[in-house]
């Protein structure tokens, strides 16, 4: 290789077998194809301005690495670079390479596109070791080396990308002045900068700004442009910008990330499946009065039958009994409160409306549970919903609710229980005297077990829920999570409820329907909310429901 001895300085562009701060290790002859090649000599890998081109570098592939003989142009930027080098202000070299082929962290092949003067490089062996002063005798003026652990940015780019890819500085320069001020402010906050006020307390703000890309004014914990390029180059290898930054020893990189944003305008409620609640609330019958009296004449006995008459015989009177019951209302409520300061501080959504939605959801759910199976609280609990006012279908009197038992043995499998349940529902259906076609409320486990039933060939007996509903002679099957684990007064697990909710009446006097109240407690700075209803609830038609429980025999 022939070189012009009038080069301005020389040094190692990169050295082999040294681990760079970006984790890469340049292997021997990785850039062999660049031997003898002239590449641009650039300031700090800035490719967006021709004034940043300082000259060119001739590359020489050696056993130890790639050596560069550098020539500075007779331009203002070239002269400035020469002065910095001569004074020892800049003593690091960095390469910009692409078309990299790697085996793990080992770089086996690549193409050097330019060599840059940088304030800090990634390869600890890349530095300027010789300066040539162009005097009459061409003698060396001095030798500059560095023992510091310096860093270099390698540009890891796909083969199909060109050298014209935008740098971080390029992107930053596309921002408007207003946008740049926002970035300055964000970085200032991230770095702990504070506004000063003068001693005269005139409260005049004095803002200190600096460009994160201006390396000569950066604080200790900021990163150089070269480091930044190395970090972004490794994003694909580490999987994320955060992990790549940590590998490079860059602290507080998350300060540059945008704030996390919520997917919804307000928090979503985490709750059990409540689809069944609306089916119950929409299915029950409503009346504008709450005191319900049910009166029935039992004409099912033989004494009430019409009789044949034989001339001369005594005509017997018809005999039947009258049955009645009265259901009166009770109050069901839910309370909530907020500290008023918290309400004011929540600005992302309207908190009062949000909490009122939650209160109505939970009130409806509690009422639906009370209608079907009771609230489950002990009789001694102050919070229990009185079952003489809102009568749960499960446990209601035999006149209204028929009890059917699903009998299985101790050794019964899930399939055995499912088959027994289906058989019991079908047989008990003849006793149902309610309105129209009823619904079957059951547990998710029981529905699953029924759908998993197979014939002797392994084929599903019921392809879908609608076919199973047809088999059971019900309008639809509704799963109710609160039924899981619930037992009746005999301690038997409740498996299902067959009922048409049109036969269950919910009554509320004028003013007793669902109402929302709110009040402010001055003493405790608390905003309080109350939602309540005053109503009664009960089955009003005899034999209008059938409940199924599990009885296990030895």
Q: Cα 310 to the chain's mean position, in Å?
A: 84
Residue 458 φ/ψ, nearest 5 degrees: 85, 10
pLDDT tens for 75-128 read 999 999 888 888 888 888 888 888 888 888 888 888 888 888 887 655 555 555
CA distance linking residue 470 with residue 462, whole number of Å: 10
Lowest-confidence segment of 144-158, 251-265, 484-498 by average pLDDT: 144-158
Most confident residue range from 227-236, 336-345, 436-445: 436-445
pLDDT per residue as tens digits for the range 348-383: 777 778 888 888 888 999 999 999 999 988 888 888
Q: How far is CA 225 from CA 31, 83, 109, 222, 245, in A?
A: 23, 21, 24, 10, 13
Q: What is the pLDDT of residue 150?
A: 29
pLDDT of res. 514: 85
CA dihedral 418, 423, 427, 433 (to 10 degrees): 30
Q: For residue 73, what pLDDT is reported?
A: 92
**pLDDT at residue 13 in the model:** 85
Tokens 């009430």 belong to residue: 304
Closest CA to 47 of 114, 123, 112, 111: 114
- Find out whether 212 and 218 touch, Cβ atoms under 8 Å: yes
Tokens of 262: 């919520």
Q: Smallest Cα–Cα separation from 374: which of 347, 396, 355?
A: 396
Find the mean pLDDT for residues 455-481: 94
Distance CA 441, CA 368 (A): 12
Q: What percent of the chain lies above the pLDDT cut of 90?
A: 33
* pLDDT tens, position by position, 231-288: 666 665 666 666 666 555 555 556 556 666 666 666 766 666 778 998 999 999 988 8
Q: For 8, what's the count of Cα atoms within 13 Å in the CB-facing half-sphere?
A: 18
Question: Quick one: which H or E segment has residue 512?
Answer: none
Burial pattern 321-354, b for ≥16 Cβ within 10 A else e, equals eeeebebebbebebeeebeeeeeeeeeeeebeee
Mean pLDDT for all residues in the chain? 77
- Residue 331 has a pLDDT of 87
Q: Is the pLDDT of residue 147 over 90?
A: no
Long-range contacts of 471-476 (CB under 8 A, 24+ apart): 471/422, 471/426, 472/422, 472/425, 472/426, 472/429, 472/440, 473/426, 473/429, 473/437, 474/425, 474/437, 474/438, 474/439, 474/440, 474/498, 475/436, 475/437, 475/438, 475/439, 475/500, 476/439, 476/440
Beta carbons within 10 angstroms of residue 26's beta carbon? 28
Residue 312: how many CB atoms within 10 A of its CB? 5
State whether residue 155 is helix, strand or coil.
coil
With CA atoms as reference, report the closest residue to 505 among 386, 328, 298, 363.
328
On the question of pLDDT at 444 being above 80, the answer is yes
Beta bridge pairs of residue 142? 131
- The alpha carbon of residue 36 and the mean position of all alpha carbons in its chain are separated, in whole angstroms, by 55
Residue with the bigger pLDDT between 478 and 2: it is: 478
């Amino acid at each position: 290789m022939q070189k012009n001895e009038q080069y301005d300085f020389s040094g190692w562009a990169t050295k082999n077998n040294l681990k760079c701060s970006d984790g890469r290790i340049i292997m021997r002859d990785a850039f062999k194809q660049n031997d003898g090649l002239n590449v641009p000599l650039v300031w700090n890998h800035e490719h967006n301005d021709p004034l940043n081109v300082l000259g060119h570098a001739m590359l020489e592939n050696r056993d130890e690495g790639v050596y560069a003989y550098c020539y500075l142009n007779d331009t203002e930027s070239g002269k400035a670079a020469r002065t910095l080098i001569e004074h020892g202000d800049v003593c690091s070299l960095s390469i910009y390479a692409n078309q990299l082929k790697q085996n793990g962290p080992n770089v086996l092949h690549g193409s050097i596109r330019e060599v840059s003067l940088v304030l800090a490089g990634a390869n600890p062996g890349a530095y300027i070791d010789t300066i040539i002063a162009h005097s009459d005798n061409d003698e060396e003026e001095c030798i500059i080396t560095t023992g510091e652990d310096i860093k270099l940015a390698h540009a890891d780019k796909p083969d199909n990308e060109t050298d014209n890819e935008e740098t971080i500085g390029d992107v930053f320069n596309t921002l408007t002045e207003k946008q740049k001020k926002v970035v300055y402010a964000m970085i200032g906050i991230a770095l702990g900068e504070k506004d000063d006020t003068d001693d005269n307390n005139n409260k005049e703000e004095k803002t200190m700004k600096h460009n994160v890309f201006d390396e000569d004014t950066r604080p200790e914990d900021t990163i150089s442009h070269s480091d930044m390029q190395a970090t972004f180059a490794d994003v694909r290898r580490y999987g994320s910008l955060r992990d790549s930054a940590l590998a490079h020893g860059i602290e507080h990189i998350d300060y540059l990330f945008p704030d996390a944003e919520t997917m919804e305008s307000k928090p979503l409620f985490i709750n059990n499946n409540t689809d069944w609640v609306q089916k119950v609330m929409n299915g029950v019958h409503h009346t504008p009065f709450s005191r319900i009296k049910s009166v029935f004449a039992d004409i099912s006995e033989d004494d009430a039958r019409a009789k044949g008459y034989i001339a001369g015989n005594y005509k017997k009177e018809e005999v039947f009994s009258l049955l009645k019951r009265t259901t009166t209302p009770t109050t069901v409520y839910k309370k909530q409160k907020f500290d008023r300061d918290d309400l004011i501080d929540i600005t992302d959504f309207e908190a009062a409306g949000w909490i009122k939605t939650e209160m109505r959801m939970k009130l409806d759910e509690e009422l639906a549970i009370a209608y079907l199976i009771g609230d489950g609280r002990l009789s001694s609990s102050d919070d229990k919903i009185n079952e003489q006012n809102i009568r749960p279908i499960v446990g209601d009197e035999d006149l209204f609710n028929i009890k059917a038992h699903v009998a299985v043995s101790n050794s019964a499998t899930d399939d055995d229980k499912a088959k027994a349940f289906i058989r019991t529902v079908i047989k008990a259906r003849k006793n149902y005297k309610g309105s129209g076609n009823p619904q079957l409320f059951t547990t998710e486990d029981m529905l699953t077990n029924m759908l998993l039933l197979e014939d002797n060939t392994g084929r599903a007996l019921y392809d879908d829920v609608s076919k199973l509903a047809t088999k059971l002679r019900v309008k639809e099957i509704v799963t109710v999570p609160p039924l899981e684990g619930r037992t009746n007064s005999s301690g038997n697990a409740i498996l299902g409820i067959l009922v048409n909710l049109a036969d269950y009446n919910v009554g509320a006097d004028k003013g007793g329907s669902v109402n929302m109240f709110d009040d402010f407690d001055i003493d405790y700075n608390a905003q309080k909310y109350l939602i309540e209803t005053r109503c009664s609830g009960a089955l009003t038609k005899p034999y209008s429901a059938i409940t199924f429980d599990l009885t296990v025999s030895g």
